[in-house]
A and B are shown apart, each in its own frame.
Chain A
Amino acid sequence: MNKNYILYALILIFGLAAPFIFPAFKVQLSILCVLIILAITWNIQGGEMGYNSFGNILFYGLGMYLCASVQVGMFFPLAEWTESGGEKTFVHTPSQFFQGMAVGLVVAAVIPTIVAGLIGYAILGLRGHYFAICTLGLGVAAGEISGGIEIIGAGQGFTTPPFPNVGGLEARGEFFYLLSFTALVLTFIAVRAVYSTRFKLILNAIRDNEDKAEAMGIQTMKYKIIGWMISAFFCGLAGGIMGGLVGYIDSTDVAFDGREMGVFMVLMAILGGKGTLWGPVIGATVFHIFKEGFWTFFLGWQYVALGVLIVVIVIYFPEGIMGWLREKYPERFGEVVDEADRKAQVELK
């Protein structure tokens, strides 16, 4: 146990020091934090609960729009802001910017949670592929509909408030990195705390056999909704941060980007290993490094590479990195291995 805490402390220190060690990669590191949050939250559904959702992008996009809208709407008329596009008729003072961001992030986290709770009863009653397609539809519908609403910019997009002129050139990157890293640490702690309770066992029971779990007296629907709400909370938070980081919100290309972010979160969780605590973290890190490292070589072919990557990972590597490690070193995962039995199984194969 002590060893674990030392590991956590090391990671925390490294995380805090990262923007100063790699000053050129601050934005990339912030995006990495957001990606890890998304992978962790997806894993609550897809990995632990067995409900493979394509629709968590809904909460992400909702959080993005809400955070930016609140940040603008608190001080200026929202409609005029979006109408003026990128032109700076209104300028946030530093205190306005940070106040708006704080309130916006709270709203961006809370409203998606409420939305998840409201639609959860209807949506989570679906099983298997019906759930997957339904959530896919939800995400795309949200993108299409928000692309038609005038007050949040409709088709021309929404420029989020620019970072105020304080603290020098590096301040923006450091601020967003610290913000996303804090969010990541909060997410990880919360999810880890949740996973150490009976709640995780209930989610796993739902994954393994929902009917039997219900027959055992577990109110599965209640726990499914709670699980989805936890997911939505952190997804919305990540979306709010990402909106400020990118600086520009488009309905289908940035916010409800089912083709990119919506697939990324699934892919990252699967790559790392579904149903593990560290899997999504590792998966997201590997994926992001791969993506940023190799995307430039593909130059325009990145979506082709993404499509091939999805197919390859899903077909040949569905257990993910953690699953592979577990297969290889079961002792490290606290599994007792009977050598004779193992040998017998190998021979059988």
Chain B
Amino acid sequence: MDFMVFQYPMITIQACLDGVLLGVLFALIAYGMALQWGVMNIINIAQGDLVILGGYIAYFMYLYGIHPAWGVIASPIIMYFVGVGIYKLVINKVVDRDLFISILATFGISILFMQLMNFAFGADVVLANSGYGTTFLFDSNVVLPNSKIFSAFVSIVFAICLVIYMKKSKLGRAIRATAQNARAAKILGVDTEKVYAATFGINAALCGVAGALISITFTIHPYMGLPYTIRSFMIVIVAGLGNLPGVAMSGMGLGVFEEFADYLLGTEFRIGAVFLLLVLILVYRRFKLSRKREYLK
């Protein structure tokens, strides 16, 4: 246990800022998850692996001499088609079925992706160096890499664009209608199959953006996917489906929590702390929900 984080205000500020900037990325991934959870009622365990795959796209652009920031544009486009492909191959067969079937099927996809990425890109921890320098605040007591600020900014821009798109465009309206009532939407002429495919594609594209940003700011590794899935799941449960400010807030909260857990418990317990927090949140939620009982329908 290292309580230095509370004794020196600069470290506290550093942890909070890092956490918030990281949390914005989590919120972006969680937004994708909330979208496809709300529309298709599927929990995608492979969410984190899509993020990592998006990260590798940016990393490869970096390897071939293109600035990795362009990955923010390229990765979602490629990931959109990957997402649609996954939908056509697997997800459309589990949409209407038992939730556990979809969890297990996406778990299978997750293992598949993990291993394919391991073969294709190797098991090394990699990072795409953006060369953006760092910003020093408070007499250089607080150090912020510019890439983190860039990634937070880009994810906010993407989130706002997506919100506007969902509100204004025809497809966005169709997606919202399907989320409310798939059957009624079908009757009124919405091609729900197409809507589902587009939703999953948009989700994958969001994961691609987040992954590209993660590969610029942090590091990526083929087996790092599952924690991102769990984080986004956690954020969605805390915020609730379709509550965007809530997703943003709880994403940042989770980021700050992680930074503090990192300081207090040590880096080796960081992922463990995330998973334990998930268990605690679910248990808390269960006790809270069990107070107001539903009666039999």
Contact = CB atoms under 8 A, between A and B. Distances in A.
B103 to A, nearest CB: 5
Main secondary structure of the interface of A (DSSP, over half): helix
A262 to B, nearest CB: 10
A311 B105 contact: yes
B110 to A, nearest CB: 8
Interface stretch (B10-18, B64-72, B94-102, B163-171): B94-102
Given A263-B107, A307-B108, A308-B108, A125 B287 contact: yes
A245 B282 CA distance: 36
Interface stretch (A5-13, A32-40, A138-146, A285-293): A138-146
A178 interface: no
Contacts, number: 128
Contact of A141 (B237, B266, B279): B279
A130 B288 CA distance: 14
B77 interface: no
Interface residues of A, number: 41
B112 interface: yes
A215 to B, nearest CB: 6
Which of B97, B109, B272 has its CB near the most chain A CB atoms (within 10 A)?
B272
> Top 4 A-B pairs ranked by shortest CB distance?
A307-B112, A310-B108, A144-B272, A141-B275
Given A212-B296, A307-B111, A311-B105, 16 more contacts: A128-B99, A129-B43, A129-B99, A129-B100, A133-B233, A138-B275, A141-B275, A144-B272, A155-B268, A215-B296, A266-B104, A270-B104, A303-B114, A310-B111, A311-B109, A315-B101
Main secondary structure of the interface of B (DSSP, over half): helix
Given A144-B275, A212-B296, A310-B104, A137 B230 contact: yes
A140 B226 contact: yes
A129 B107 CA distance: 13
Interface in A258-304: 259, 263, 266, 270, 300-301, 303-304
Nearest to A140: B275
26 contacts: A122-B283, A125-B283, A125-B287, A125-B290, A129-B43, A129-B100, A130-B286, A133-B43, A134-B278, A134-B279, A137-B275, A141-B272, A141-B279, A144-B275, A148-B268, A215-B296, A270-B104, A300-B119, A303-B112, A303-B114, A303-B115, A306-B111, A307-B112, A310-B105, A314-B104, A315-B105
